[in-house]
Structure 1
Amino acid sequence: MNTPASDEKLLKALAVALVTHPRGTLKEIAEAAGISKATLNRYCGTRDQLIERLMNHGAQVMNLVIHNAGLDEHPVLDALHRLISEHLAHREVLAFIAFEWRPDSLDEPSGGARWLPYGDALDAFFLRGQQEGVFRVDITARELTEIFISLVFGLVDAERRGRVARAGMAAVIEKFFLKGAASP
């Protein structure tokens, strides 16, 4: 990712501030992120520009998650474990994306193309897992992608709201994704 560490830290703080103060003024968002309103104005100008910048950053982060998980290089179960861990390492950005997500987020005019590499990589990974006999084949690779994304993003949001604990979340996601809700 081409984002300097200081910019990365600011984007993370702004993502948390927007989720925590969804109706906050730019001044309140700036204060929550630990910067001045003037700095926030120089950084993005408007709330819409801030949200767009964070969504673009989120797409970069999701593509970094895919890259770092090594979906093509590692055995499927190892890659799945890495994929979950990489997602959770960026939980603040995931919480922001989940909070800002709308049904039209994948439409071209709304910047939907930015999410295609992420979805395509997950589709290919789950298809490879099916071909290798790791994942069930009665659910399509695309459906597995959607289930996985919903599970990860949903639990990150639930953690943010205090409904689930952070500890052991990676294991819960992996276990539930691989085994489902059926009793053993």
Structure 2
Amino acid sequence: MAENETHDSLLNALALALVDHPRASLQELACAVGVSKATLYRFSRTRESLISTLRLHSIKAYKRAVQNANLDTAAPVDGIRALLENYYSNKELTVFLIHYWHPEIDGNDDCLASQEILDAFFLRGQQEGFFRIDISAVTMSECCHGLFFSLVDAERRGRVPRTKIISIIETMLLQGCTAAKK
């Protein structure tokens, strides 16, 4: 495994461990993800620093997910699928953000840029006649994030099947946002 993949995998595991064990010490978190305390200390020396690192890592992962979906050129169906698959590849970070996201602290330029790309994707889809126009593009973006966050959390709690989550969100978005055919 490449060093960046190992780094990302460890951060994803730590994100989930913090959610599963919110009061755990760094030693307990290290044990939960199968690394030594010294390895964890290379990432962070305090829980607060680790949480901050994970929030920044999460924001960057979401930015990459949006960028790699090629929403500026992708057909609406392909764009939605690519975005959801990219988001889902870091679902641990989604679970982490549900518990540790603070928009007043974390709302930065990367967040705004990713949000603008998604808004522009839905607007372009409306202009091309694919998405309905009685719901704003911004609202569709929020629905996309809301569905993803809530269903990833529901999956974690065992309420929705893991194998269906992307297709469920895709169906809800596309059938709920698709313009009526004439």
1:59 paired residue number: 59
Which sits farther off after the overlay, 46-55 or 20-29?
20-29
CA shift for structure 1 position 94: 1.4
The amino acid across from 1:163 in the alignment is R
User: Who is 1:36 aligned against?
Assistant: 36
**What 5-or-longer segments of structure 1 have no aligned partner?**
none
Corresponding position of 1:106: 103
Report the equivalent of 1:168. Answer: 164
Give the equivalent residue in structure 2 for 1:16. 16
Q: Which portions of structure 1, spanning 4 or more consecutive aligned residues, are displaced by more than 3 angstroms?
A: none
1:138 aligns with 2:139: no
Deviations 1:22-70 (A, max 9, x none): 1222221111111122322232111111111111111111011111111
Report the residue type matching 1:71 in the other structure: L
Deviations 1:84-143 (A, max 9, x none): 111112111111112212xxx222xx1311411221111111111111111111111111
Q: Distance in 2 between matches of 1:116 and 1:86?
A: 18
Whole-Å separation in 2 of the counterparts to 1:18 and 1:106: 19
Which ranges of structure 2 fall in alignment gaps of 5 or more residues?
A: 177-182
Q: Which residue of 2 aligns with 1:128?
A: 124
The number of residues matched between the two structures is 174
Q: Percent of aligned positions with the same letter in both sequences?
A: 43
- Equivalent residue for 2:180? none
SS of 2:162's equivalent? coil
Is 2:139 aligned against 1:147? no
What TM-score does the superposition give when structure 1 sets the normalisation length? Answer: 0.88
Q: Distance in 1 between matches of 2:118 and 2:19?
A: 26
CA contact (8 A) 1:106 1:115 kept: no
Match of 1:119 in 2: 115
What is the DSSP-based 3-state SS (H/G/I as helix, E as strand, rest coil) of the residue aligned with 1:24?
coil
CA contact 2:69–2:82 (8 Å) conserved in 1? yes
CA distance in 2, matches of 1:23, 1:162: 23
CA distance in 1, matches of 2:118, 2:93: 18
